[in-house]
Chains A and B, each alone.
Chain A
Amino acid sequence: MTLVGAIPATALSENRRADLARPIEIDHVTKRYGPNVVVDDLSFTVRPGRVTGFLGPNGAGKSTTMKILLDLASADSGRATIGGSRYRDLRDPARTVGVVLEPNAFHPGRSGRSHLRILADAAGLPVTRVDELLELVGLASAADRRVGAYSLGMRQRLGLAAALLGDPPVLVLDEPGNGLDPQGVRDLRQLLRSRAAKGHTVFVSSHLLAEVEHLADEVIVVNQGRMVTSGALAELQDSATLVRTASPARLTEVIVAAGAAVQLQEHDTILVRGIAIDEIGERAFEAGIALHELSPHSGSLEELFLGWTGVTTAEDVTVPTKEVVSV
């Protein structure tokens, strides 16, 4: 795959794409399936010019949120918009939003070229874009083979080609790196970063945390349909404080009351988020708790993710409501 570099833009000029850069707004969206609340009063904004990672464990509501955004599912309440418009109200959806949702949303008996030609026909895009995109994603030599004979990585690349067909200023991608080989993942990363650098809106859900760590400028983390945290990834990664004390339980009690999120690291060490390092020291001092270490901690995304989503032992983690942040 040779996704890096300028995308042949026969459909849109550079200026028009810049004009079309639009934020994604999720505004108090709730979705229920029977008694289950899949998305629970979720609100956030995905800004243009940034790559925004959308994270959460399986069943967190990521895909449902994306489907609501794309009008493939209806919200019970709230509003999801792209540039202020609901998807169904966009004048030219295929030229505005590129989407990767399902890695297997292809007819297995149809060729890759036919799949893209159908999409080009439906969107009123020139057929020449089909060959350009097949070349771009490295599928030109397999274009006339049945999609059923494609590997997962090839299907993923075909999905990316479909998303880029209209050269859209907004990308909504659900697990786009699934099945890609390392080179493909790297090319995808560079492609998305280059799109964001042009002022495009790039919204990517992924469970590949290491990949998101390399790719995303900002992250939105959801769990059980609710926002857990959001913000610039670099700031979030630097926002923790490592505290070593002989009284971790007492200190936890004190600082949780102040709005901190606490994760037990070892028997005498806790990781604190949500309040500043100075405040931790002051509150420990006021409570008469001796601290043996108080230091800024820069965690990996995986470490942060496990803390945010409570995927580790539940009693080890306290996530206060104060940490729920809307962008």
Chain B
Amino acid sequence: MNWLRLVRAELRKLTSTKMPWAFFTVLVAVSATTASAVVWGTDMDGSKAFISTAVDQQSLMAFAANAFMIAGLFGAIAVAREYGHGTVVPTFLAEPRRSRAVSAQLTAVLFGGGMLGVVGAGLTALAVAAALPTTEYTFMISAGSVTRLLAASAFAGAAGAVLGAGIGAVVRNTGGAVAGAVLVLVIAPPLIVQLSTDASSWVPSTLTNVLSGIGDEVGVPGALFALAAWAIVPALIGLLAVERRDVI
């Protein structure tokens, strides 16, 4: 019961600043870019083959990889700013057992990341649906596939946010946490693939494609587990760091 109060407090923290609006603006910008691509974009041969089939449209609308990265930044900022502004102090005064306080924070961030994923995927689907009438193609994706895109994006957003939160808890400085998140989300995966091509099936972009139904390198359960592992490992490191360190 007490823990749920902490989660509620953490959710209020997330929603009582302009940060959600900033991320919403990013989602709108991404979906607008996607819509622009539908309206004005062409393949190399000048055709619009990239939206000519249901699979193509599903691939264009797959937002999960973006959700993982955007929510990763969201989680990193949400947690690191707590340390930067010192607002983590009243949190630990209200709940001195830090593992409970951090788990509440991770839960709230997970929920926020999931929301970002759903909203991002929803806006993208709406943008594509709105843009397609300007072309010769219709909206071909089934309701089931749209649902899967939304679910994949929600899961990826939640996982990305938890990953970012773990980095934020370790780094504790907003700028540093953002840089750390970019390193883990954007720079590290290609380097890992370069070191071992076998690892390409397990980097976030591949896993989110599997979840979105546009890739089959691994099974869906494996993708769920692996993407969760990408989130849980830094979150556990962050939790351990918070438990061991002095707060201020």
Contact = CB atoms under 8 A, between A and B. Distances in A.
A110 B5 CA distance: 19
B227 interface: no
Given A73-B248, A106-B85, A162 B96 contact: no
A119 B85 contact: no
Contact of B12 (A106, A109, A118, A123): A118
Contact of A72 (B5, B19, B248): B248
B5 A90 contact: no
Nearest to A68: B246
B18 A122 contact: no
A74 B243 CA distance: 11
A138 to B, nearest CB: 21
A93 B247 contact: no
A73 B98 CA distance: 12
Contacts of B18: 109
B9 A108 contact: no
B91 A106 contact: no
A74 B246 contact: yes
A299 to B, nearest CB: 35
Contact of A93 (B9, B81, B87, B94): B94
Q: Is the interface of B mostly helix, strand, loop or mixed?
A: helix
A139 B64 CA distance: 44
Contacts of B247: 67, 72-73
B248 A122 contact: no
Interface residues of A, number: 32
A75 B91 CA distance: 20
Contacts of A114: 12, 16
Q: Which of B92, B93, B94, B96 has the most CB of A within 10 A?
A: B93
Interface string B87-101: 101111111110000
A118 B16 contact: yes
A87 B176 CA distance: 31
A122 B246 contact: no
A62 interface: no
Contact of B94 (A108, A110, A122): A122
Contacts of A102: 86, 89, 248
Contacts of B93: 70, 72, 93-94, 97, 99
A142 to B, nearest CB: 16
Given A71-B96, A122-B6, A122-B94, A105 B246 contact: no
B85 A118 contact: no
A322 interface: no
A88 B96 contact: yes
Interface string A92-134: 0110010101101111111100100111011110000000000
Given A105-B89, A107-B87, A110-B17, A124 B96 contact: no
A90 B96 CA distance: 9
Q: Which of B2, B19, B92, B94 has the most CB of A within 10 A?
A: B94
A107 B81 contact: yes
A143 to B, nearest CB: 13
Contacts of B13: 107, 110, 118
A222 B75 CA distance: 41
A313 B145 CA distance: 80
A111 B16 contact: yes
Nearest to B2: A124
B220 to A, nearest CB: 37
Contacts of A97: 93
A127 B93 CA distance: 18
A74 B245 CA distance: 8
B248 A162 contact: no
Contact of A94 (B86, B87, B94): B94
Contact of B246 (A72, A87, A93, A106): A72
B48 interface: no
A255 B169 CA distance: 56
A123 B94 contact: yes
Interface string A219-251: 000000000000000000000000000000000
Q: Which of A90, A104, A114 has the most CB of B within 10 A?
A: A114
Given A72-B247, A121-B12, 16 more contacts: A67-B247, A67-B248, A71-B92, A72-B246, A73-B247, A88-B96, A93-B94, A99-B90, A104-B85, A105-B87, A109-B17, A109-B19, A119-B9, A121-B8, A121-B9, A122-B94
28 contacts: A70-B93, A71-B92, A72-B93, A72-B247, A73-B248, A88-B97, A93-B93, A93-B94, A93-B96, A99-B90, A101-B89, A101-B248, A102-B89, A105-B87, A105-B89, A105-B90, A106-B85, A107-B17, A107-B81, A109-B17, A110-B13, A117-B16, A118-B12, A118-B16, A122-B91, A122-B94, A123-B5, A124-B2
Interface of A: 67, 70-74, 87-88, 90, 93-94, 97, 99, 101-102, 104-111, 114, 117-119, 121-124, 162
- 5 closest Cβ pairs, A-B complex: A105-B86, A122-B9, A121-B9, A122-B94, A88-B96
